[in-house]
Chains A and B, each alone.
Chain A
Amino acid sequence: MKALSIKGLEKTYAGGVRALKGIDLEVEQGDFYALLGPNGAGKSTTIGIICSLVNKSAGAVSVFGFDSVQDEVEAKSCIGLVPQEFNFNQFETLMQIVVNQAGYYGVPRALAKERAQKYLKQLDLWDKRNARARELSGGMKRRLMIARALMHEPKMLILDEPTAGVDIEVRRSMWSFLKEINEQGITIILTTHYLEEAEMLCRNIGIIDKGEIVENTSMKALLATLNIETFVFDIEQGANSVAIPEFETRALDDTTLEVDVPKEAGLNAVFERFANQNIKVMSMRNKANRLEELFVRLVESGRAKAQTANGSDVKPTQTGQEKRA
């Protein structure tokens, strides 16, 4: 039995926007799954349907074998949701928010209070338990929503951009917290725009764009396709005249050179060329976020495929992408 199984899911909003065009997705029990995609791809819509916040137009969702409509009660009880936007009552205290949430799931008040203590402490919010939610900082609000989602001890936790607007230190502690509860057996599904976060946490990954799944694979397999890495060299001068025929190079200015290096080629060849041409390398770094590049490439090649399938022309920019891929 899968923790989550989505079949042919479609959503057309009242205004006519086709947010989902028939998605299939499966998440294993105990998995740590990342759902990635650009803004407006349909991530929150998918999550909304899984959690009964959005009415689907077609398709089926089942959670631990329970149909999200037919066996609504069982399905809902399995899921804890951390939504993208703050959706608690700003005037209630943290304690009220988490205890009430447990109550909606039928957790008796005394037990709810014990759990509130446990989760507010784990998320470093215990000191604030009697503060009103609106007095919290953005990062605290995110953690409050995580605590709230755990109050009925769900088997699956779904987090929609939980680390948006959270500083690096808190983000790290959130990561280790999520890893820990995943190790304890909770299935986690997470959307994020920080690819580094997906790489750090997730075992499997789905990429969604314009309402369609363009990639669904393991993190490892995905990273293996990352066979070209771009390095940025700061050289003394003459970047424009450097010639390294086996690699693609781009001079950004006279002292900065970008070189695309296939993994199997190694860097020695690059340095040999520099040495032959008497070019002094001052420093060198990995071009920021190779994962992000990969992501853009995947999304764009997905779009190109869709366009070819539709019989329309492939735009020139996409052929450029193809070459680099």
Chain B
Amino acid sequence: MSSRNFTALKTIWIKECTRFLRIWVQTLVPPAITMSLYFVIFGSLIGERIGQMGGFTYMEFIVPGLIMMSIITNSYSNVSSSFFSAKFQRNVEELLVAPVPTWVVIFGFVGGGVARAMLIGIIVTCVSMFFVDVQIHNFIVIVVTLILTSTLFAMAGLVNGIYAKTFDDISVIPTFVLTPLTYLGGVFYSLTLLPDFWQMVSQINPIVYMVNGFRYGFLGVSDINYLVALGLLVGFNLLLYITAYRLLKKGVGIRS
């Protein structure tokens, strides 16, 4: 990488991190609060009555899923709203006039989303430690899943931001697609609890693989094969990268 590109990449990344830190009340506090509520309500209050799930206490079972859930929503919304507002305020033009290659733009924005997701992941993990002894089965699996999931959703957020024409357009996908898929993605239950038919349907939900892959890293148990999860993550990442690259290169939504 040329030093010019490296400087540009670093600059976009710093700018992105500065943005979410500047508005930390909107970006960092809400996930911490939501997750604490989940821990209190589902983990402590209801969880005690549920008993064991997949061989662990309910609290232990849902912690990886909840961390994953916050990583998904935060990496997505960071990039979609940041890129959309850069279009809206037109400061995306600062990048367009400069000799910044498309891949640097993508990595810069995605890097910002990943940074926020990691920070939230750490915050949520810390919160969960008040409720449960967090155990780690395979640290590498955790880190790899974490990075691939957050880049995937950051990239998806970028594509959303590129297409978005109004502020509504960046909340449609999270509300109508991401949230349902996450809730149905096995965060709160083991797929084995479902009737056969619904177990099969769940297999086409990509989030199932991420949540289970992540849970495997913590607990060593999973409803699915970790390698399948890994393959899917890599595949989706590539697909979204190519999509974002083409859209930006063509100037969709940014160049008339």
On A, residues with C-beta under 8 Å from B are 13-14, 48, 51-55, 72-74, 76-77, 79, 81, 83, 85-92, 96, 100-101, 103-109, 148, 152
Q: Is there a chain A Cβ closer than 8 Å to B227's Cβ?
A: no
Size class of the contact patch on chain B: 20 to 34
The residue from B4, B89, B96 contacting A52, defined by CB atoms under 8 A apart? B96
Given A55-B256, A87-B89; A106-B5 close (CB under 8 Å): yes
Is the Cβ of A106 less than 8 Å from the Cβ of B256? no
Distance in angstroms between the alpha carbons of A217 and B191 in the assembled complex: 77
Q: Bound complex: CA of A142 vs CA of B14, how far in Å?
A: 25
What is the distance, in angstroms, from B63's C-beta to the closest C-beta of chain A?
35
B132 within 8 A of A: no
B8, B89, B95 — which one has the most chain A CB atoms within 10 A of its CB?
B89
Given contacts A76-B98, A79-B97, A88-B94, contact A54 B255 (CB under 8 A): yes
Given contact pairs A104-B11, A106-B7, a sample of 6 additional A-B residue pairs in the complex whose CB atoms are under 8 Å apart: A53-B96, A76-B99, A81-B97, A86-B90, A89-B89, A103-B14
Task: Name the B residues within 8 Å of A55 (CB-CB).
Answer: 251, 255-256
Query: How would you classify the secondary structure of chain B's contact residues: helix, strand, loop or mixed?
Result: helix
A51 to B94, CA, bound (A): 11
* Chain B residues in 8 Å Cβ range of A79: 97
B199 interface residue (CB < 8 Å to A): no
Given known contacts A55-B251, A89-B89, A90-B89, A101 and B98 CB-to-CB distance under 8 angstroms: yes
| B93 at interface by CB-CB < 8 Å | yes
CB of B203 within 8 Å of the partner chain: no
Query: Of the candidates A54, A77, A108, which one forms a contact with B256 in the assembled complex, judged by CB atoms under 8 Å apart?
Result: A54
Q: Is B135 an interface residue (CB 8 A)?
A: no
Given A55-B251, A83-B93, are A105 and B18 also a contact pair (CB < 8 Å)?
A: no
Contact partners of B15 in chain A: CB under 8 A: 92, 96, 100
